[in-house]
Amino acid sequence: MEIKKYLSAEQLEQWRRMVDEASNIAVLGHSGPDGDAMGSMLALASYLQGLGKKVTPITPNACPDFLRWLPGAEQVIFFRNKQRKGVKALEECDLVFCLDFNGLDRLEEMRRCVEHSKARRIMIDHHLDPEPMAELMVSDPRAAATCEVLFCIFHQLGAYEGLSQDIATCLYCGLMTDTGAFAYNSNRAELFHIVGMLIAKGIDKDKIYRNVYYSYTESRLRLMGYLMYEKMEYFPEEHVALFALTEKEMVHFNFVRGDAEGFVNMPLQIKGTILSISLREDTEKPIVRVSLRSVGDFPCNEMAERFFNGGGHLNAAGGWLPKPIDTAIQTARQAIKSLSEKG
């Protein structure tokens, strides 16, 4: 099966020239980096380091604990924790890769440094409606993950044979997490052909799954039960579930970054459910984080844009609302009510 070629002949030459001429490269991921952001960043950083480049991966804030096992994760600068080091790296770089985000606003506090940098930029992403923020942009909303696009670029560059097991591990982690362990947005034969090629590199896909999904604390499991039993509202006419998590509840359950990962998918196990919405108070900003997951052809991204200042993919989207959370819950209920009114 043929691997997709994202770069035209001119773009391929442009890529090679931009990378060849660079000596100090920053590889950036979005705020709240997930498996796809971390996986694509670390895979690309390792590849570029293999070319003899100085590479600094940077994200606006920390990744969840369950991703810190990824090969090379110790190299990542979490800008909020090490701002001086991050600013210095961005000032000194001559090439910036923007991975897994479609707009500079996803960089939060880092945005100004990137905008003021004289470094050239390359963007690789799979989200809808990318803003023109790079000299070379590779974006495919049909791709399951940015790691899929990056793998195809590696293959087009003739780099597959030389890809290390560590790089393959990072790419697979991005594919797995952005598809909910291949439960959505993954019904394409070419995606599993890529998975097979990554397995051929010697990765342990079962161990990767365990590292991500079987590495939580007892408190996280108890929080999950609490949310599903005590907090979840179900709207049978609309076939929608909604739950909200407050800062006070997070403190009670010893919440750590990443503990809420996957909770929004759980109500979709209820027969006939088409949409699940989770709300969570942010501990650093006066906002409520919103996550949406759906099945079938229900457009999460449209609801996120209309009601939650966000966007995303057909079956997975996100956004935010201002605090207090009670008001945010009312907004979510209005969004759900709009479904029956439309019907």
pLDDT mean over 5-29? 98
Mean pLDDT over 186-206 rounds to 97
**Lowest-confidence range among 35-39, 92-96, 315-319?**
315-319
Q: What is the pLDDT of residue 343?
A: 54
Q: Where in the chain is the domain with CATH 3.10.310.30?
A: 219-342
SS (H, E, C) the chain: CCCCCCCCHHHHHHHHHHHHHCCEEEEECCCCCCHHHHHHHHHHHHHHHHCCCEEEEEECCCCCHHHCCCCCHHHCEECCCCHHHHHHHHHHCCEEEEECCCCHHHHHHHHHHHHHCCCEEEEEECCCCCCCCCCEEEECCCCCCHHHHHHHHHHHCCCHHHCCHHHHHHHHHHHHHHCCCCCCCCCCHHHHHHHHHHHCCCCCHHHHHHHHHCCCCHHHHHHHHHHHHHHCEEECCCCEEEEEECHHHHHHCCCCCCCCCCHHHHHHHCCCCCEEEEEEECCCCCEEEEEEEECCCCCHHHHHHHHCCCEECCCEEEEEEECCHHHHHHHHHHHHHHHHHHC
Tell me the average pLDDT across 319-332: 97
The CATH number corresponding to 219-342 among 3.40.50.1980, 3.30.990.10, 3.30.1380.10, 3.10.310.30 equals 3.10.310.30
Residue 189 has pLDDT above 70, yes or no: yes
What are the pLDDT digits (tens) for 300-323?
Answer: 999 999 999 999 889 999 999 999
Across the range 128-146, mean pLDDT stands at: 96
Is pLDDT above 70 for 206?
yes
Which whole number is the average pLDDT over 221-248? 97
Q: CATH classification of 9-213, choosing from 3.90.1640.10, 3.30.360.10, 3.40.640.10, 3.30.420.40?
A: 3.90.1640.10
Please state, rounded to an integer, the average pLDDT across all residues of the chain.
Answer: 96
Choice among 39-43, 134-138, 256-260 with the minimum mean pLDDT: 256-260
- How high is the pLDDT of residue 184? 85
The mean pLDDT of 113-125, rounded to a whole number, is: 96
Which segments of the chain belong to CATH 3.90.1640.10? Answer: 9-213
Digit-coded pLDDT (tens) for 265-283: 999 999 999 999 999 999 8
